Amino acid sequence: MQSIIYLVLLGYMTGCTSLVKVYKLGKSLNKKTRRRLGFKGSTPSHPTITKVIKMIDSEEFELVLAKLMKEIAGKNFKQIAIDGKSIRSTSSNPKGLLHLVSAFAPEVNAVLMQSKSKVAAGEIKSLEEMIPKLDLKGKVVTADALYVQEVLCNKIVQAGGDYVFKVKRNRKKILGDIEEGFNLSYNRNLPVRTYEYTKKGHGRIDHRKIEVISSNRKHFGGWGTDTIKQVGRITKNSFTVKTGKEKEEVSYIISSLLPKQSGAEDLLKYSVGHWSIENILHRTRDVIFKEDVSNIACLKSQQINAGLRNLAIFLLSKIEKSITLAIDKITASLHIAIKLILSRT
């Protein structure tokens, strides 16, 4: 079983998009390479690989991966981004669409934990269950507006962590209190901390500005909580060079971080950095590994393969910042990947 897991992981590190391609990779390996992976003879057939993956308990496997990632990722990160992703190819499965929630550390490209959940509201329950399992002391949890729940905010702070959550229009009471706070601050010349920067690239010029004020209210947005210490308003202006079109977006955040812990620049960094979970993790699994068109029928196997893709992304990021460049290096020299796999796992 261990050797087959190593083979599948190696396959993903070379850009394989299916277990059939993993099987073909195995057949192309020389005797020395097969032995390094733990195979005494030839590598197994495609049906055998599929059957073995099906035998693994997905929940237990996730716990093993979480323990492994905790050991190898270390403590050299501050932010933990939370987001869910559905594997669209499972939409016709009789057991329902497979939806996975990940806790991702953008600074090290590591999935610290992944769990199966129901779509939408199920993500809230998943994070609630993750909180006591993740070591949140000194960490900052970031998430989209879906996770703006009083119970989650309280539990994160109680676990020794902090949060920076995005707020959308459906949270009218919270947004009302945020806007009231800004109006009061500007009208009375109270402190408003700001930070802004401009970024150019891919034919676009983006300018972001954040305005931040403190909150000392015990009741905020109808919540009976005093964990909200700062609120922010982020204005993003985008200019597309080719078309000449301009676009402005305004978003809001709430945070448990005190001003002395994190200023306006830090809060904007956390807010922008959160989307690494989409750009680095979810997009890579879809675009490079073709996860959303995977034809694996077993939901447990889909979950296990998603976990192995997560691990592959982490290991590939140790080789090159660009995942595609790292895959090219591995394809040209398999021993680089095998050395990483054996030393890290």
Q: Which residues pair with 117 in a beta bridge?
A: 99
Banded model confidence at residue 225, pLDDT cuts 50, 70, 90: confident
The conformational region for residue 237 under phi > 0 = left, psi -120 to 50 = alpha, else beta, is beta
For the stretch 128-161, what's the b/e string if a residue is b when 16 or more beta carbons lie within 10 angstroms of its beta carbon? eebbeebebeebbbbbbbbbbeeebbbbbbebeb
Residue linked to tokens 């006591």? 132
Number of alpha helices (DSSP H) and beta strands (DSSP E) in the chain: 14, 9
Apex 287 CA angle, 300 and 82, nearest 5: 60
For residues 281 and 279, give the distance between their C-alpha atoms in angstroms, rounded to a whole number: 6
- Band of pLDDT at residue 157, cut at 50, 70 and 90: very high
Using an 8 Å Cβ cutoff, are 278 and 173 in contact?
no
Read off the amino acid at residue 288. I
Q: Model-level pTM?
A: 0.93
261-314 per-position pLDDT tens digit: 999 999 999 999 999 999 999 999 999 999 999 888 899 999 999 999 999 999
Report the alpha-carbon distance of residue 91 to residue 93 in Å, rounded. Answer: 6
**How many C-beta atoms lie closer than 10 Å to residue 28's C-beta?**
9
pLDDT grade for 33, boundaries at 50, 70 and 90: very high
Mean pLDDT for 184-201 is: 94
CB–CB of 156/170 below 8 Å? no
Distance CA 114, CA 98 (A): 12
Termini Cα distance of the chain? 14
Residue 97 scores a pLDDT above 90: no
Give CA–CA dist 282/279, Å, rounded: 6
Averaged pLDDT for residues 229-241? 94
Residue 143: per-residue pLDDT: 96
Average pLDDT over residues 188-199: 94
Q: Where are the alpha helices (DSSP H) in the chain?
A: 2-13, 19-28, 31-37, 46-55, 58-73, 121-130, 150-158, 172-187, 264-273, 276, 283-287, 299-317, 323-332, 334-344
- Is residue 109 scored above 90 in pLDDT? yes
- Specify the 3-state DSSP secondary structure of 211: strand
Region 217-243: mean pLDDT is 88
pLDDT band at 175 (very low <50, low <70, confident <90, very high): very high
* Cα atoms in the Cβ-side hemisphere of radius 13 Å centred on 161: 23
> Which pLDDT does position 120 carry in this prediction?
59
Cα angle at 212 between 208 and 213, to 5 degrees?
A: 165
d(CA 246, CA 168) in angstroms, rounded, equals 22
E strand or H helix at 89: none
Average pLDDT across the chain, whole number: 93
Q: Which two tokens stand for residue 306?
A: 């998603």
C-alpha 71: how far from chain center: 18
Tokens of 345: 């796992």
Please give the share of the chain, as a percent, with pLDDT higher than 70: 99
CA distance 138 to 255: 14
pLDDT tens digits, 68-94: 998 888 888 999 999 999 999 898 888
Per-residue confidence at 187, pLDDT binned at 50, 70, 90? very high
255 neighbors 267 (Cβ within 8 angstroms): yes
Quote the percentage of the chain above a pLDDT of 90: 83
DSSP state string for 91-102: TT-TT--EEEEE
pLDDT for 345 beyond 70: no
Q: Are 220 and 177 in contact, with CB atoms under 8 Å apart?
A: yes
Label residue 102 by pLDDT band (50, 70, 90). very high
